[in-house]
A and B are shown apart, each in its own frame.
Chain A
Amino acid sequence: MTQRACKILVVDDEPDLQPLMRQRMRRYVRRGLYTFVFAQNGVEALEMLQEQQDIDLVLSDINMPKMDGLTLLQQIPKVDPDIRSVIISAYGDMKNIRTAMNRGAFDFVTKPIDFDDLKVTIDRTLRNLTEWREALASRDKLVALQNELDVASKMQQSILPTELPGTDEYKVAASMQPARAIGGDFFDFVHLDGGRIGIAVADVSDKGVPAALFMMSSRTLLKGAAIGGTGPGEVLYEVNNLLEEENESAMFVTVLYAEYNPATGELSYANGGHNSPVVFHEDGSSTVLPLTDGVALGLMPGLDYRQETVKLSPSDTLVLYTDGVTEAMNTDFEEFGLERLRSMFVESMPGDAEAINTAIFKAVADFAGDAPQSDDITCLTLRRITTDA
């Protein structure tokens, strides 16, 4: 709490009280605990409250000319709702005491004033005021922090591409649904030479602010490496080494990075500890792309990342996803699972990437029902459209 003396306004029309109060409380005034100011009635008290905004506590008599103590109690919150009031009443005057308490008095003392009791009452009141102010300050801090989180969340969403690539030959759709305000998943794409594109889906260990920071740097490094890179394996090798350099907190990110050539349907990919992508075929079957034995990025320098190449047939649909999809749980604690994902389009499949991607999110949401979402959910769909030239 503030180290300044607490300022107490004493309101009483009896002229004797002022010297008595100063005399009996002089020790505490000398120690710098309290300072006193005095008013003769409610009107004067209100004026002083308006002029001196550092008054913490009002100690007021009830019966006074011009404006009595009970009326003053009603007026004080209009000047400052945080000021605490203590009423001085006649002994046994329960009716006025009840009225005063109902009008917001914090406590009361009775006449003749027992100054030891008054000291206890003042200190108790001031302690309450201090706690109240601290609570308000904490709340303000929390609100500020919440605002910052909201900003961070918006920033995070805003770095995700909104316009995804697509031509007559292929279309990409993607979405990320964070479990909390700040997520650890992301997806991205880059245009490469010869009309090729690089696509990525990634999942940072843990969630919240540290994960978000790690996600930001992962995403930047990945983008840079992808643009200058010579293939997915090389790209992950480079990002892994860069991430590991200053990673005391043992954060890591799993990444599926792939490069797609729309002209040939060729897809090269490298998997850094991430879930295996699924390719859905036109006949309702699906293929899980084999793991490439890559380790999650950021853990250990110098690791090699093998890449594989497959060919997407016309109408094949590649789905990259994070474990938020397969590990989504329903209220019976069952997981959505890879098999449920694979069986989604056995009967029929929407003809465009956006609809497929949306259908996956909907299937996960339907499955989870009322179960809370515990992990970020990300899904990126690439559909090959044209026939072979």
Chain B
Amino acid sequence: MAISTSREGQTLIVKTEDRIDGANAREFQVDLEAAIDPNDRGLVLDLEQLSYVSSAGLRVILLTAKTLRKQNAKLAVCSLSDSVREVFEISGFDKIIPVHDNQAEAAAALAD
């Protein structure tokens, strides 16, 4: 689940890969929190390379959204694989976290 980060202006872009499940969700949370700068206004979570996310992983994404909200920043996810998209749809997460087709769209939406 290693993460890699880049920045476009005040938008942090985080890519992650492989799986996020109960075994590494905590690590994912710590890595994400460490990557966020207090000046970030938005975070795009690019999940193109992520093949699986469990409910523990969803929880971390939600906690991150809450953390960001406190610094007046927003979270969006993009480029979901079919299996991750299915998890988002079944759990209803796609209704509370904005889902976009690609990074550019997600970044544009956050910049609005």
Q: Which residues of A contact B (CB under 8 A)?
A: 203-207, 249-252, 254, 272-276, 291, 293-296, 299-300, 323, 327, 374-375
Contact = CB atoms under 8 A, between A and B. Distances in A.
B55 A294 contact: no
Nearest to B67: A250
A251 B22 CA distance: 13
A316 B46 CA distance: 42
B95 A203 contact: no
In the A-B complex, list the 9 residue pairs whose CB atoms are closest, starting with the nearest. A295-B92, A205-B55, A273-B91, A273-B92, A206-B56, A205-B59, A250-B63, A250-B62, A296-B91
A206 B23 contact: no
B95 to A, nearest CB: 5
B76 interface: no
B89 interface: yes
Given A250-B63, A252-B55, 17 more contacts: A205-B56, A206-B55, A254-B91, A272-B92, A273-B90, A273-B92, A294-B92, A295-B92, A295-B95, A295-B96, A296-B58, A296-B93, A299-B62, A300-B96, A327-B54, A374-B21, A375-B54
Contact of A252 (B21, B59, B66): B59
A275 B55 CA distance: 12
A274 B21 CA distance: 17
Given A250-B63, A250-B66, A295-B96, A276 B90 contact: yes
B22 A375 contact: yes
Q: Is the interface of A mostly helix, strand, loop or mixed?
A: loop
B25 interface: yes
Nearest to B65: A250
Contacts of A374: 21-23
A206 B96 CA distance: 19
Contact of B96 (A274, A276, A299): A299
Interface size class of B (residues with CB under 8 A): 10 to 19
Contacts of B91: 254, 273-274, 295-296
A54 to B, nearest CB: 43
22 contacts: A205-B56, A205-B59, A206-B59, A249-B63, A250-B62, A250-B63, A250-B66, A252-B58, A252-B59, A273-B90, A273-B93, A274-B91, A276-B90, A293-B95, A295-B92, A295-B93, A295-B96, A296-B91, A299-B62, A299-B96, A327-B54, A374-B22
B58 A205 contact: yes
Contacts of A205: 55-56, 58-59
A109 to B, nearest CB: 49
Contacts of A207: 22, 56
Nearest to B56: A206
Interface in B24-79: 25, 54-56, 58-59, 62-63, 66
Contacts of B54: 323, 327, 375
Contacts of B62: 250, 252, 299
Contacts of A203: 55
Contacts of B59: 205-206, 250-252
Contacts of A295: 91-93, 95-96
Contacts of A327: 54
A203 B91 CA distance: 11
A217 to B, nearest CB: 16
A59 B13 CA distance: 65
B90 A291 contact: yes
A274 B56 CA distance: 14
